[in-house]
Chain A
Amino acid sequence: MAAENITIAESEPPKIALWNDPQARALFFQIIVLGGLIFCGGFIVNNTMENLARQGIASGFGFLKTTAGFAIGYSPFLEYSEENTYFRALVVGLLNTILVAGIGVFFATVIGFIVGVARLSNNWLIAKIALVYIEILRNIPLLLQIFVWYFGVLRSLPGPSQSASVADSIFINNRGMFAPKPVFEDGFSVIVIAFLVAVFAIIFLKKWAKNRQDETGRIFPVFWASFGMLIAFPLLAATVTKFPMIWEPTALKGFNFHGGMEIPPELVALTLALSTYTAAFIAEIVRAGITSVNKGQTEASYALGLRPGPTLRLVIIPQALRVIIPPLTSQYLNLTKNSSLAAAIAYPDIVLVFGGTVLMQTGQAIEIISIIMGFYLLVSLLISMFMNWYNSKMALVER
């Protein structure tokens, strides 16, 4: 920049033809490419609309307000019946997808971390078991694993009348798992408030403990204190309000269990398959992250007098996380998108309910597929956003 300024100041800038000016040329081509893209996009949209109109296929989003008329097998969060609209069916499918993805991400992370650390264990047997787990699970197509879990589990379970039961209140059979459901009565809000108070107290305690450690060097057992508060506060509130909660029991009536909470085998098989499969990949990511931390870090930490536990927690893991988080995000995204395989085993996720039944009934493939694509895009972007935020918090702070 500086050199350029000098030459300009001393002599008349040489005249450059417009087509030889790199900036003008770059601008020109960018405009052409952009124009081409807009033309292509517009052309595709226009062509589609014309073809739809010519074949007399209905279009538009008005169908969302129409009565659905079909049943959905599992809707744990939202009341749904045949009289509801397609839009409500969409929401039910959407929530079911989020449910399976949420549970899947949680278990995949837990299993993945355990297996990843086990893979690095000095114990030969544990390391080899982790190795076998990873190599088997990540090298078999996910759809096959889902079928194995689903039909394997289904066939081995008894029918409803011969259910296996735990204390005569939780029942397991080939229709799923049935358990009593907690029903909250008046006064339950006190317990919720007590819980929130505990959470705020913990945040405050953590700050105080950190300040005290900085000033005096004494360590306060924050974890155990927090744990105790989380249990004690709500328990105290419950005792004062005389436990405002009853359990709605589940019982066999006719063909099936009614009342209480239901976990269908489709959900179990799908979350099992998704989390064990993704865990194999996460395990490798965790192993890569941990081995990326220089051995000198451990040695330096020991030299400072830290024991192995705090070394792992305070020195190794924070540095490993920087390597782990970005690929971990991709795995979460994969898991969420893989949950669309639910359709194969009748778990009513968005693809099965909306991309299956609703699509068949209305025939409006373009609108429905766009809604589904939009939904997955939104969920994926939200996950990335959260993980990027977490990543920037964990990233190396350079001084």
Chain B
Amino acid sequence: MKKTVTAFAAVAAAALVSTSLVAPASAGPVLDKVTGKGFVQCGVSQGVPGFSNPDTSGNWSGVDVDVCRAVAAALFGDATKVKYTPLSSKERFTALQSGEIDMLSRNTTWTLVRDTALGLNFAGVNYYDGQGFMVRKSLGVKSALELDGASVCTNLGTTTELNLSDYFRANGMKFKGVFFEKADEVIAAYDAGRCDVYTTDQSALAAQRTKLKNPSEHMVLPEIISKEPLGPVVSHGDDQWFDIVKWSLNVMIEAEEYGITSKNIDELKATSKNPAIRRMLAVEGDTGKNLGLGKNWSYNIIKQVGNYGESFARNLGPTTKINLPRGLNQLWSKGGIMYAPPVR
């Protein structure tokens, strides 16, 4: 009899616990949660240099990480109030849907299915990318069209995997796919000779190439076979949170357009006569009120994280090992397509 009673108590306790787990249906559940705990839980990659990569002491850096930091700066006035969750390509959306992370900033391609059926919202684009191929120079291949019958290594569960199938089918070629869950295993298998070709977004190719035993023995083929707009993602159900993430990114891009950097921001704030700059730095008006943020939200982002150009130069620019050209990611006014709606 005692056993039965204990079992009953356990069931009752379980029922109580699960009642308290019901997600509240009120507006802004994610924002409430984030402000409540005092930091942003940000989903990042398991290590893609230049995008999101931890250093030897565990500090994360990269252009994707900077978006997380910008959101923290806007919300808390402190860009360090971020905790990072490294995720594989397979885990990332489930982590976001289940609320384990508040936002995902992990070189993730914006597609229709992800934006709709997965219950997610893309808050803009922080890197315009395209899929490329890397091969050994010793193969003597000059174009991706010569790759018929090759073994190809890549990450599973990515748009890369699908583009690869589409490209080979469209060109009447065959390939043998070897799909790994983690990027590190893909590069290790490619380095060990398991595959002739390593394919992923061009930016990631450049970044992962630095991990090869002998990077100079490999080359990236000229073909770019897809559009890969990469950006931060939030889940459906909290429009205010979505707005905050979206405009944190937009401020970084617009700041570059107006020449506001983390270095000259105090000087510009004091002296600038340009109304757009004065609005953005909250000298005139208060854009933060509309987002439910403090007045200095945009100032904090630019001061602590920097503008988009600074972030790019710091993580991917010529002074880094990765050394990617701005290309498409140059501002629209300078020949690229990086463009933010006006912050006003």
Whether A33 touches B11, Cβ cut-off 8 Å, given contacts A44-B18, A254-B149, A360-B93, is yes
Complex Cα spacing A359 to B117, Å: 12
Is A226 part of the contact surface with B, judged by Cβ < 8 Å? Answer: no
Query: A55, B181: Cβ atoms under 8 Å?
Result: no
Verify B11–A55 contact, CB threshold 8 A.
Answer: no
Stretch with Cβ within 8 A of B (4 or more), from A68-76, A198-206, A299-307: A68-76
| Contact among B18, B117, B119, B194 for A40, CB-based, below 8 A | B18
Contact B237 A55 (CB under 8 A): yes
Which of A133-141, A151-159, A326-334 forms contacts with chain B?
A151-159
Residues in chain B near residue A73, CB distance under 8 A: 176-179
28 A-B interface contacts by CB (under 8 A): A25-B1, A43-B15, A43-B19, A47-B18, A51-B23, A55-B97, A56-B236, A57-B236, A58-B117, A71-B161, A71-B165, A71-B175, A73-B177, A82-B165, A154-B193, A344-B180, A344-B182, A344-B185, A346-B179, A346-B189, A356-B90, A356-B156, A356-B179, A357-B179, A360-B89, A362-B113, A362-B117, A363-B113
Q: Interface readout for B90-118 with A: 1 if CB under 8 Å, 0 if not?
A: 10011001000000000000000110111
Indicate with 1 or 0, residue by residue over A343-365, a CB within 8 angstroms of chain B CB atoms: 11110100010011101111101
| B243: interface (CB < 8 Å) | no
Interface residues on B, range: 35 or more
Interface secondary structure of A, over-half rule:
helix
B22 in contact (CB, < 8 A)? yes
A96 to chain B, nearest CB (A): 13
Are A33 and B176 in contact (CB-based, < 8 A)?
A: no
Q: Does B162 contact A (CB under 8 A)?
A: yes
Considering the complex, give the chain A residue whose CB is closest to the CB of B19: A43
* B25 beta carbon closer than 8 Å to chain A: yes
5 A-B pairs with the lowest CB-CB distances in the bound complex, closest first:
A360-B157, A363-B118, A36-B11, A57-B119, A55-B119
Chain B contacts with A in 184-213, Cβ cutoff 8 A: 185, 188-189, 192-194, 196
Q: Other than the known A36-B12, A40-B14, what 6 A-B pairs have Cβ atoms closer than 8 Å? A: A29-B8, A36-B8, A40-B15, A58-B117, A154-B189, A365-B94
B178's partner among A37, A55, A346 (CB-CB below 8 A) is: A346
**A22-46 near B? 1/0 per residue, CB < 8 Å:** 1001100110110011011001100
Is the Cβ of A356 less than 8 Å from the Cβ of B157? Answer: yes
Q: Which residues of chain A in 62-117 are interfacial with respect to chain B, using CB atoms and an 8 Å cutoff?
A: 69-73, 82
Determine whether the beta carbon of B1 is less than 8 Å from that of A359: no
Q: A136-171 vs B: 1/0 string, CB under 8 Å? A: 000000000000000100110101000000000000
Does residue A266 face the partner (Cβ distance < 8 Å to B)? yes
Chain A, residue nearest B89 (CB): A360
Chain A, residues 250-262, CB within 8 Å of chain B (1/0): the string is: 0001111010000
The answer to the question of A289 belonging to the interface, with a C-beta cut-off of 8 Å to chain B, is no
Would you list which residues of chain B between 1 and 18 have a CB under 8 Å from chain A?
1, 4-5, 7-8, 11-12, 14-15, 18
Contact, CB under 8 Å: A57 / B165: no
Bound Cα distance A356, B179 (Å) = 10
A357 to B157, CA, bound (A): 4
A69 touches B194 (CB 8 A): no
Could you tell me which residues of chain A, from 241 to 270, have a CB within 8 Å of some CB in chain B? 253-256, 258, 265-266
Whether A33 contacts B97 by the Cβ 8 Å rule is no
Report chain A residues within 8 Å CB of B25: 54
Cβ contact within 8 Å between A357 and B161 = yes
Q: Select from chain B the residue with minimum beta-carbon distance to A25.
A: B1
Q: Which residues of A contact B114 (CB under 8 A)?
A: 363
A174 within 8 A of B: yes
Whether B113 lies near A361 (C-beta < 8 A) is yes
Cβ-defined partner of B237 (8 Å) among A40, A54, A346, A348 = A54
Point out the residue from A36, A343, A363 that lies within 8 Å of B117, measured CB to CB.
Answer: A363
Chain A interfacial residues counted at CB < 8 A: 56
Q: A151-B192, A346-B178, A361-B113 are in contact. Are A256 and B150 (CB under 8 A)?
A: yes
- Residues of A near B158 (CB, < 8 A) are 360
Determine if A361 and B162 form an interchain contact, defined as CB atoms under 8 angstroms apart: yes
Q: Are B179 and A361 in contact (CB under 8 A)?
A: no
Does B32 belong to the interface (CB within 8 Å)? Answer: no
Distance between B200 CB and nearest chain A CB, rounded to angstroms? 15
Q: Which residues of A contact B42 (CB under 8 A)?
A: none
* CB of A175 within 8 Å of the partner chain: yes
| A356 with B181: CB separation less than 8 A | yes
- State in angstroms the CA–CA spacing of A345 and B179 once bound together: 8
Chain A residues with Cβ below 8 Å from B45 are: none
Q: Taking the nearest CB of chain B, how far is it from the CB of A317, in angstroms?
A: 41
A251 to nearest B CB, angstroms? 12
Partner of A69, one of B11, B165, B176, B189: B165
Contacts of A175 in B (CB 8 A): 151, 176, 194
Chain B residues near A359 (CB, 8 Å)? 90, 94, 157
B176 touches A40 (CB 8 A): no
- The CB with the most chain A CB atoms within 10 A, among B5, B25, B196, is that of B196
Cα A360 to Cα B25 with chains together (Å): 27
Bound CA span A359–B192, Å = 29
- Whether A69 and B236, one on each chain, are in contact in the complex, defined by CB atoms closer than 8 angstroms, is no
Bound state CA distance, A82 and B189, in angstroms? 24
Do A154 and B194 touch (CB < 8 A)?
A: yes
Complex CA–CA separation, A117 to B260 (angstroms)? 77
Q: In the complex, which residues of chain A have a beta carbon less than 8 angstroms from the beta carbon of B89?
A: 360
